[in-house]
């Protein structure tokens, strides 16, 4: 059976028949993921040396991180030909922003505010991944993030639940392509359920303590979006959430994920996160772990083997039921069936998969992604570069290929096009500068491009960081370059927002590139040279100082909000040594156009339940370059039964305007946009007055009022 409906996971007759032939050991085997070929051990060491024998005995359901074609074939052949029932294995891998062609890291991709781009990128990723013989990617990571100290913000869609939900759907559609049995589709896995992005102090694996309202309002929506798009897998989070580890949290996995959110696919634990509930002090031994995680609703155990070792005994003792086990097994079998593995267990095994990697079309897509994701944070007429004007190239990242970021699967730094290479390819004249030649060789120049950043290994899993400034030596380079009196164009590569407060005055222009991947230099060159205007918009607030963290746009107001008219007034919510405002707010990003917003008006000043209201805004590009503008619409409840954020993003539109062009953009307000979880935790509107705000970013909005009636 080839399933077209990814939302339904009802087991087929064939799978039910297969289940009826399975022994208890074989059933339990389907719940096990082995890490036999994993070269990177990211948690407890678990002995998987017996994997081949276990596969023959039907005691392995899937294998993690295998990517050598010969290994894949050997493992699948063993399962199909040497196990009693010949059930094929699932192969899963972390393909997060590219398999062989590195696309910009996910946080950068979110800066595009472009679900269509993200869907096409995911298709490109799935194309390479499926040709490598893999079936499931552990992506997208949809954890809502507010803390750039956390190294994994690089994998996220940023801090806004609405935008993240749109992008989550795009990832799922791009990977799964409506029918998993299609040759180039792979199953997606939304992770980490739930709350991982709220780890206290941004410290990896740390405790999460957030209100149910925050969970429902901002943490769950992207997961729900993934489920609505038909995602086949959900991964549990490592963390404790409100005192229960997520992996053993029945409320979370059963009541919320299954019953409320309607998820029917496979719930997989994270790497040894089952066993870790002993460290979380809620279980005493591995049998207890197996019992609690199974009871909570877990289907598939990654790396650790507590199900393997204890489920049989727990069933014999009557503590868990075989019926429940059967349901879990059927979910795994159904996924295998949907992927077409019972029709062809060797799908997508090629003699030479290399010919499908790094194709020109894939690289062109990766370059387009760079062009649409870099954010211009400042530009005092230093960019774009004048045609063929000789520029100085300075700083450690001019020639660095360390810009693919973490979780780069099999992408190689050696494939990266650096900034210098891009200038070479474009035959754009430049002078390569170092500290000793900076003064003398730059005399004839107008502009110096200073490329700085953090190493790829400073972000990603296990890389929380408390100090978010660039190294002192790199900051010194900018100051030195500034002393030459030339235009300084700063290009920053990083896996997270860094604190640029001290550097900002020394730069005339700043391009924030995050980690753009294989086509880094090529895309950046087109932006620097003005062939394309920057259009990326921040999806994660850039703090002014680490001491502000968490600082995010959709916060509540406080009873004593900061008053700009009385900044020194002591008894308002403020810091005495730094401002409240971040350096760059959510949604911020400049273009080579100069946009003016005017004539913002609503078609009506009230909105009935079954009605709509139009919001008009006129945009004029006063600049001398055409550019893409992302017009953003936020709402603010003037009152509600619970406190609501000062701004909530509800819609946005991307509009291209030629130089001098004027256009009117129209949004449609519906009742649903004003809903929130009320005092009784019901998702509803309240008939009150709301601000509707439009503008280029969350810090520059024009407000109008609408009354819900
Ligand atoms: C741990 C990470 O938290 C998770 O995101 C990843 O998918 C697994 N390891 C597998 O590598």
pLDDT for 90 equals 98
pLDDT (tens digit, 9 = 90+) per residue, 39-64?
677 888 888 889 999 999 999 999 99
Q: How many angstroms separate the CA atoms of 380 and 509, rounded? A: 6
The 10 Å CB-count burial string (b at 16+, else e) for 496-520 is bbbbbbebbebbbbbbbbbbbbbbb
pLDDT for 67 equals 87
Query: What's the token pair of residue 108?
Result: 């950068």
> Does ligand 1 come within 6 angstroms of the Cβ of 271?
yes
Q: Name the nearest CA neighbour of 537 among 154, 157, 141.
A: 157
Q: What percent of the chain has pLDDT over 70?
A: 98
Q: Are 708 and 606 in contact (CB under 8 A)?
A: yes
Minimum CA distance residue for ligand 1 atom 7: 138
Average pLDDT, the chain: 96
What would the mean pLDDT of 263-284 be, rounded to a whole number? 98
Cα dihedral across residues 270, 271, 274, 277: positive or negative: negative
Task: Look at residue 651 and tell me whether its pLDDT is greater than 60.
Answer: yes
Q: Are 615 and 704 in contact (CB under 8 A)?
A: yes
Minimum CA distance residue for ligand 1 atom 9: 271
- pLDDT band, very low/low/confident/very high, at 11 (cuts 50, 70, 90): confident
Q: State the distance from the centre of ligand 1 to the C-alpha of 567, rounded, in angstroms.
A: 45
Q: State the distance from the centre of ligand 1 to the C-alpha of 283, rounded, in angstroms.
A: 22
Omega prior to 192 cis, within 30 of 0: yes
The CATH class given to the 370-538 domain equals alpha beta
Q: How many angstroms separate the CA atoms of 641 and 264, rounded? A: 34
Number of other residues whose CB lies within 10 A of the CB of residue 639: 10
Mutate to test the pocket of ligand 1, among 90, 106, 153, 270 (most ligand atoms within 8 A of CB): 270
The residue count of the chain comes to: 709
Residue 538, CA distances (Å) to 374, 460, 699 in order: 9, 19, 12
Residue 260, CA distances (Å) to 252, 255, 256, 629 in order: 10, 6, 5, 38
Which atom of ligand 1 lies closest to the CA of 65?
Answer: 11
Annotated catalytic residue, options 270, 299, 402, 508: 270
Beta bridge partners of 493: 453
Task: Look at residue 623 and tell me whether its pLDDT is greater than 60.
Answer: yes
Task: Look at residue 454 and tell me whether its pLDDT is greater than 80.
Answer: yes
The pairing of strands 90-93 and 136-137 is parallel
Cα dihedral across residues 197, 202, 207, 212: positive or negative: negative
pLDDT (tens digit, 9 = 90+) per residue, 501-536?
999 999 999 999 999 999 999 999 999 999 999 999
Q: Are 351 and 565 in contact (CB under 8 A)?
A: no
Q: Are 602 and 614 in contact (CB under 8 A)?
A: yes
Mutual angle of helices 13-21 and 322-338, in 10-degree steps: 130
Minimum CA distance residue for ligand 1 atom 3: 270
Threshold 0.95, pTM exceeds: yes
Residue 291, CA distances (Å) to 23, 24, 274, 285, 287 in order: 20, 16, 10, 10, 6
Q: How many angstroms separate the CA atoms of 8 and 579, rounded? A: 51
Beta bridge partners of 636: 691
Q: Which fold has domain 12-93+188-338?
A: TIM Barrel (3.20.20)
Q: How many angstroms separate the CA atoms of 534 and 526, rounded? A: 9
pLDDT for 36 equals 85
pLDDT (tens digit, 9 = 90+) per residue, 126-146?
999 999 999 999 999 999 999
SS3 698: coil
pLDDT for 6 equals 43
Q: State the distance from the centre of ligand 1 to the C-alpha of 605, rounded, in angstroms.
A: 49
Rounded to 5 degrees, what angle do the CA atoms 116, 636, 197 make? 55
Phi, psi of 248 (to 5 degrees): -120, 30
pLDDT for 61 equals 98
> Does ligand 1 come within 6 angstroms of the Cβ of 38?
no
Query: What's the token pair of residue 493?
Result: 């590569």
What would the mean pLDDT of 11-34 be, rounded to a whole number? 96
Q: Are 34 and 65 in contact (CB under 8 A)?
A: no
> Does ligand 1 come within 6 angstroms of the Cβ of 191?
yes
Q: Which fold has domain 595-708?
A: Immunoglobulin-like (2.60.40)
Minimum CA distance residue for ligand 1 atom 11: 94
> Does ligand 1 come within 6 angstroms of the Cβ of 155?
no
Q: How many angstroms separate the CA atoms of 367 and 657, rounded? A: 22
Mutate to test the pocket of ligand 1, among 235, 236, 267 (most ligand atoms within 8 A of CB): 235
> Does ligand 1 come within 6 angstroms of the Cβ of 160?
no
pLDDT for 9 equals 60
Mutate to test the pocket of ligand 1, among 302, 303, 464 (most ligand atoms within 8 A of CB): 302
116 is catalytic: no
Residue 262, CA distances (Å) to 7, 253, 265, 407, 576 in order: 9, 11, 9, 30, 48
> Does ligand 1 come within 6 angstroms of the Cβ of 138?
yes
> Does ligand 1 come within 6 angstroms of the Cβ of 94?
yes
> Does ligand 1 come within 6 angstroms of the Cβ of 147?
no
Q: State the distance from the centre of ligand 1 to the C-alpha of 270, rounded, in angstroms.
A: 6
pLDDT (tens digit, 9 = 90+) per residue, 189-215?
999 999 999 999 999 999 999 999 999
What would the mean pLDDT of 483-497 be, rounded to a whole number? 98
Across 162-232, the runs of DSSP E, i.e. the strands, are: 189-193
Q: How many angstroms separate the CA atoms of 63 and 332, rounded? A: 13
pLDDT (tens digit, 9 = 90+) per residue, 426-446?
999 999 999 999 999 999 999
- pLDDT band, very low/low/confident/very high, at 3 (cuts 50, 70, 90): very low
Q: How many angstroms separate the CA atoms of 537 and 375, rounded? A: 6
Q: State the distance from the centre of ligand 1 to the C-alpha of 271, rounded, in angstroms.
A: 6
pLDDT (tens digit, 9 = 90+) per residue, 653-697?
999 999 999 999 999 999 999 999 999 999 999 999 999 999 999
Q: How many angstroms separate the CA atoms of 92 and 282, rounded? A: 29
Contacts of residue 413, defined as CB under 8 A and 6 or more positions apart, other chains included, come to: 401, 402, 403, 404
Q: How many angstroms separate the CA atoms of 334 and 87, rounded? A: 12
pLDDT for 396 equals 98
What is the tally of helices (H) and strands (E) in the chain? 18, 26
> Does ligand 1 come within 6 angstroms of the Cβ of 276?
no
Phi, psi of 470 (to 5 degrees): -65, 160
pLDDT for 48 equals 86
Number of other residues whose CB lies within 10 A of the CB of residue 566: 10
| DSSP structural state of residue 26 | H
Mutate to test the pocket of ligand 1, among 34, 138, 269, 275 (most ligand atoms within 8 A of CB): 138
Minimum CA distance residue for ligand 1 atom 1: 271
pLDDT for 640 equals 98
Q: State the distance from the centre of ligand 1 to the C-alpha of 528, rounded, in angstroms.
A: 36
- Spans of all domains in the chain: 12-93+188-338, 370-538, 595-708
What would the mean pLDDT of 351-363 be, rounded to a whole number? 95
């Amino acid at each position: 059976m080839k399933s077209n409906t990814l939302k339904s996971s009802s087991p087929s007759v064939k799978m039910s028949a297969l289940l009826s032939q399975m022994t208890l050991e074989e059933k339990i085997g389907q719940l096990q993921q082995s890490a036999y070929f994993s070269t990177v051990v990211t948690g407890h060491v678990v002995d998987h040396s017996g994997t081949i024998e276990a596969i023959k005995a039907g005691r392995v359901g899937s294998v993690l991180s295998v990517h050598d074609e010969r290994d894949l074939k050997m493992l699948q052949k063993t399962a199909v030909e040497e196990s009693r029932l010949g059930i094929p294995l699932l192969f899963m891998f972390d393909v997060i922003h590219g398999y062989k062609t590195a696309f910009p890291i996910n946080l950068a991709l979110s800066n595009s505010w472009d679900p269509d781009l993200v869907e096409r990128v995911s298709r490109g990723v799935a194309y390479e991944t499926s040709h490598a013989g893999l079936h499931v990617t552990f992506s997208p990571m949809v954890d809502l993030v507010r803390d750039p100290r956390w190294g994994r913000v690089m994998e996220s869609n940023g801090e806004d639940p609405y935008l993240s939900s749109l992008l989550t759907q795009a990832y799922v559609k791009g990977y799964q392509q409506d029918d998993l049995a299609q040759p180039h589709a792979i199953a997606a896995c939304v992770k980490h359920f739930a709350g991982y992005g709220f780890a206290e102090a941004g410290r990896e694996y740390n405790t999460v303590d957030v209100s149910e309202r925050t969970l429902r309002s901002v943490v769950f929506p992207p997961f729900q979006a993934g489920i609505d798009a038909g995602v086949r897998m959900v991964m549990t989070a490592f963390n404790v959430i409100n005192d229960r580890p997520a992996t053993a949290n029945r409320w979370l996995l059963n009541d919320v994920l299954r019953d409320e959110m309607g998820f029917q696919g496979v719930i997989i634990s994270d790497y040894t996160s089952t066993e870790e509930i002993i460290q979380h002090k809620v279980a005493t031994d591995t049998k207890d772990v197996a019992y609690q995680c199974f009871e909570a609703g877990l289907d598939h155990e990654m790396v650790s083997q507590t199900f393997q070792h204890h489920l049989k005994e727990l069933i014999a003792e009557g503590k868990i039921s075989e019926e429940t086990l059967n349901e879990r097994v059927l979910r795994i079998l159904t996924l295998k069936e949907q992927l077409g593995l019972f029709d062809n267990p060797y799908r997508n095994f090629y003699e030479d998969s290399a010919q499908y990697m790094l194709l020109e079309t894939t690289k062109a897509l990766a370059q387009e992604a760079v062009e649409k994701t870099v954010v211009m944070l400042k530009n005092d007429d230093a960019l774009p570069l004048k045609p063929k004007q000789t520029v100085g190239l300075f700083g450690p990242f001019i020639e660095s290929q360390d810009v693919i970021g973490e979780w780069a699967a099999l992408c190689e730094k050696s494939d990266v096009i650096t900034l210098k290479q891009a200038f070479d390819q474009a035959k754009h004249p430049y002078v390569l500068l170092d500290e000793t030649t900076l003064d003398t060789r730059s005399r004839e120049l107008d502009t110096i491009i200073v490329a700085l950043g953090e190493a790829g290994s400073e972000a990603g899993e296990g890389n929380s960081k408390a100090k978010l400034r660039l190294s002192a030596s790199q900051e010194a380079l900018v100051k030195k370059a500034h002393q030459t009196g030339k235009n300084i164009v700063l290009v920053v590569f990083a896996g997270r927002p860094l604190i640029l407060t001290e550097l900002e005055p020394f730069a005339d222009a700043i391009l924030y590139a995050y980690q753009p991947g294989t086509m880094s230099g090529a895309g950046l060159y087109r932006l620097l040279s003005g062939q394309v205007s920057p259009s990326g918009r921040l999806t994660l607030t850039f703090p002014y100082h680490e001491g502000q963290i968490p600082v995010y746009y959709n916060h509540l107001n406080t009873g004593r909000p900061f008053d700009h008219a009385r900044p020194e007034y002591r008894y308002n919510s403020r810091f005495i040594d730094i401002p409240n405002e971040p350096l760059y707010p959510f949604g911020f990003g400049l273009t080579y156009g100069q946009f003016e917003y005017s004539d913002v008006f609503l078609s009506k000043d009230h909105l009935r339940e079954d009605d709509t209201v139009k919001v008009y805004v006129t945009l004029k590009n006063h600049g001398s370059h055409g550019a893409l503008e992302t017009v953003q619409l936020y709402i603010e409840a003037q009152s509600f039964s619970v406190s609501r954020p000062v701004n909530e993003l509800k819609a946005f539109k991307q509009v291209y305007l030629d130089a001098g062009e004027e256009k009117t953009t129209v949004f449609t307000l519906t009742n649903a946009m004003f809903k929130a979880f009320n005092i009784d935790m019901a998702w509803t509107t309240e008939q009150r007055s709301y601000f509707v705000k439009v503008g280029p970013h969350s810090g520059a909005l024009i407000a109008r009022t609408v009354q819900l009636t």
